[in-house]
Structure 1
């Protein structure tokens, strides 16, 4: 089967500062203040067309950074992502302008996706109906709850019918009815052979929906493979992690974070 997404040695590094003063000093004397932090480091794997890949890992592991790089929202610091097809990212607030109304956001995002005014007029009723926002569709997005933003973003993106879909915690907010409807839409895409990346802490959803898993830990790819194998290992890790005291959990996270820091002072 043809490859849909190839990720080659991808690293994303951010410059970190403790104070505004450090940031200003680094502008004047580059490299003399602050430190580098590798959000993800040297990640490589390939995804075939029709794969549904779950991105799992504890908070702060780098899942969203990786999904944003695959989606073209964030550029990698080094490495390469080769994508065969149109990509859409569904995440809370992704691409939404808080000053615009729901209707205006639909028009704006559809224009960015290359839709003609005629096509926008055609898909508008479908997007509004799927979003379940009712009269709120005419209100500024800044008045929306996180669940409402997710509904609007999801409704726009699934109507676009992309080749590759990235869902970043977009089903974790809002009501269960909408989440079920959205999952049904995702399963429809799955049956049609779309490539999907699914970021979620809902392990039962990941286990039932995904065909492969990429386990990200401390910015590194710990394991990639079939769902039944990787999820078994990840579930065992999560059970052990949750049995740790809050202090030991923090110590574990701090240890991972320290590995990702590069003090360049």
Structure 2
């Protein structure tokens, strides 16, 4: 099968500053020695995904899953390495890139315009998006009044209308009521049957196991393991059981040791 997404030695590095003045110095005096330390959110990630693969991105908080998903989705550029995505990609996330000052309906119009829809096309898809979102009269209220679950519903409803080739779902099914989650998963299963390529970020290991065909386990910004769901999730569950048996102090020490290895001058 043709490779749909290829990552070659992908790294994303951020600058960390102890004060605003350090940040301003680096911005205004680019030729001066940099003051901020570097932090590798992800480093040297390499794997390829075939058309129709459903890839779960797993790892404890702060591992780099969302950074990786944003790079695949084109929301964040990689600092180095190569990212090849064949086809149109859509990102479905909790925040969903919605404008708080616009109403739900205005956000639909705005995001559809960004997706290249004509005015006529927007009018055509508007009723289906509103119906799928289950927001009712709230569709005419400012998004700043929405709960995180309502935002996720709206963002999901808009994104699935685009019918992309590659879909990135970042915790968008972890909020809201179970009925909407089930409906959203059913929509994703429909895409799965149609051979769409999907990246699925979730802390719900049961969802990941039931839905995904492959797993990318990210730990401390590195790819610890990539392969079939049954193999990788067995190893990941063993790790999680051991991690959860640690005390809070021990868990923090483990996370701190991973973070320390990602910082450099």
Distance in 2, matches of 1:170 and 1:138, equals: 22
**1:158-209 deviations in whole A, cap 9, x for unaligned?**
1111111000000111111100100010001001100000000000000000
**1:217-255 deviations in whole A, cap 9, x for unaligned?**
000000000000000000000000000000000000000
Equivalent position of 1:232 in the other structure: 234
Q: CA deviation at 1:24?
A: 2.6
> 3-state SS of the aligned residue for 1:100?
coil
> 3-state SS of the aligned residue for 1:41?
strand
Counterpart of 2:160 (choices 158, 161, 178) is: 158
Q: CA deviation at 1:93?
A: 1.7
Distance in 1, matches of 2:65 and 2:84, equals: 18
Gaps of 5+ in 1: none
> 3-state SS of the aligned residue for 2:62?
coil
Distance in 1, matches of 2:201 and 2:96, equals: 14
Distance in 1, matches of 2:33 and 2:167, equals: 38
> How many residues get paired?
263
Counterpart of 2:217 (choices 210, 215, 218) is: 215
Distance in 2, matches of 1:18 and 1:173, equals: 34
Equivalent position of 1:8 in the other structure: 8
Equivalent position of 1:196 in the other structure: 198
Are residue 17 (structure 1) and residue 40 (structure 2) matched?
A: no
**1:128-163 deviations in whole A, cap 9, x for unaligned?**
000000111001111111000000000001111111
| Aligned residues: CA RMSD | 0.9
> 3-state SS of the aligned residue for 1:122?
helix
> 3-state SS of the aligned residue for 1:90?
strand
Q: CA deviation at 1:22?
A: 2.2
Distance in 1, matches of 2:248 and 2:22, equals: 31
> 3-state SS of the aligned residue for 1:36?
strand
Gaps of 5+ in 2: none
TM-score normalised over the length of structure 2: 0.97
TM-score normalised over the length of structure 1: 0.97
**1:51-81 deviations in whole A, cap 9, x for unaligned?**
0000000000000000000000000000111
Equivalent position of 1:115 in the other structure: 117
Equivalent position of 1:66 in the other structure: 68
Counterpart of 1:133 (choices 132, 135, 143) is: 135
